[in-house]
Structure 1
Amino acid sequence: MARKNSKSAIETISPPTSPYLWERRSDTSVQFWTKGSQEHSIIKPTVPPHLGLVRHDLAADISAPPPFSYSIFEKLGILHAAINEMKSGFRTYRYRQNFHFVIFVFGGEISLVSGRRKISAKKGDLLTIPAGSDYEIRTSKGWKTCWFHLKESKCWNGIVGNEIKIKKSMEPEKLLEAMKLCALEVHSPTRSEWAISLCADIVCSYVRAELLSGNESPGKIELLENCFQSSPASIPSAQEAAKRLGVSVAELNKLCLKKFGATHSKRALKIKMAAAKSMLSRGDSIEKAAEASGYANRRSFGRAFLRECGITPRIFVKTKA
């Protein structure tokens, strides 16, 4: 298998003996779809459009929604996502894939080989394949899955990790129902961006929670640190940060207290005010410092500054004059 995972060997991979619907090759991957397989994308399709197999109809074997604002999913780091049912004989080879691949298995069996490692994923399993992996996936029994291509980013890197993993999914049926609702909405002729955005947030929350389940606190704290490394104005609220980590706000604050000695809100305030004081000391206006710190107006910024620094921004500026 190591030979087949090398880039130079991609071109030498032969089609399977079983009847297949289509074949796709690139410098880094080969894929063979067996006849009778089905896939319903909730974003843009991965099936090559020139084959003419994709329909904007969930009743079709292969469907994808009519084009819409894909940025709704892309801003969450979701590049592709689908519900599928593959028949026996499906095979795919990837070399140095440039996205994280997350697969929830609802039926059948997936066989994965990466180097000398062999993994069998069955109903109820969650298979995580990080970006940069070389591997082969095939099935001799067929499978039913929900899968996601996730962008390499701070948002997902700390959750996915850097090695192929398999574990039991917590609540796979809830994720499947959320995906089905999302598929119905994006395919609907009366769809709305608001409803699609809501569906995307729900699906993303389930995926995050599943990936984070069973992780030790240090891994979650590492992800939390990424939140605080954003610009002061981009630091998420406690509610949003808790959502990203798949924990409650109370659990989030316990993690923050353990690592930073302060709750999320207090640490965020400290970082924002440190940045504001630096700007004011350089001669920037109070309005500019407020905006850069993530405050909608000068008044709310002034209250936060007084709470953290003990003086108002105006007095602080005068002391630095």
Structure 2
Amino acid sequence: MSEKIVFLDASTIGPGVTVGRPDFAHEWQEYDRTAAEEVVSRLSDATICISNKVAITPDMLKQLPQLKIIAVAATGYNIVDLEACKSQGVAVCNIRGYAVNTVPEHTFSLILALRRNLIEYREQVLDGEWVRTGQFCFFNRPIRDLAGSNLGIIGAGALGQSVGRIGLAFGMKVMYLNQHIRTAPDHGQLVSLEQMRDEADILTLHCPLTRETQNIIDADFLAGMKESALVINTGRGGLVDEEALAQALKQGQIAGAGIDVTEVEPAPIDSPMMQVAGLPNVLLTPHVAWASVGGMQTLVDQLIGNIEAFVAGKPRNLLT
């Protein structure tokens, strides 16, 4: 029997990446993007759905009795309701371990640029400030080393631990939040949320977005952090209360933020993060931490492998 595969948002895979085809009889249809009101019609005869960021709601599922599996083209799976899928007999799989290089590298790109105030120094050089000082260097913004600083990591999976190992190589003290951990890391210290708030010089998030982690970084948390601390989020936008973070940045409660994910994407012009994106101590990137060419190729290869394994009766990376 031939399977019908529909990729709802193929444009989320960038250039330079080859998306192979499964090694079984199938019909393949892909769309660059899909609006919510188009989902049901486009999946009307599909047995396999691929989606990166297009949500599949319980109401949609009820109208898609032929659907067998939703292959999420990402690690985060908040686009689907797992309980609804399970009750309807729809399998869900995701991508795992593909971004262990690209996300940590992007994370430290943000950290280094902010910790050493590279953005503002570059702007001042272009504005002629260096020439006007009349000396070989000028230092009107703090430059802080990573060595000896406290790196707080929320999320101790493959990505969080990869970030932690890089932190150790920089000579940082690594701390992991002692909540929602399946397997304790082989390095670093497990600490409470309160201790992480009080001690972290750099806080970075690498956990899934769930009911428990929604807005885990809120106004109270930010108010208790060091004024010299940085917040880095390459996980999911909903992990951080964006309005609270924007206010903390405006009021100087923390030293800066590196953000690659927002609650609504793309971030609206009037959103909290866009309102502070122009500050010299803020780096806002458009959800690209995962998107190195190597990372994306690994992702799509695993995606097709997940689908082939399911059809062969040997499913992997299942969430339901």
Q: Answer whether TM exceeds 0.5 for this pair.
A: no
Higher relative contact order (CA 8 A, sep 6+): 2
Structure with larger Rg = 1
Higher strand share: 1
Please give the TM-score of this superposition, normalised by the length of structure 1: 0.21
| TM-score, normalised by the number of residues in structure 2 | 0.21
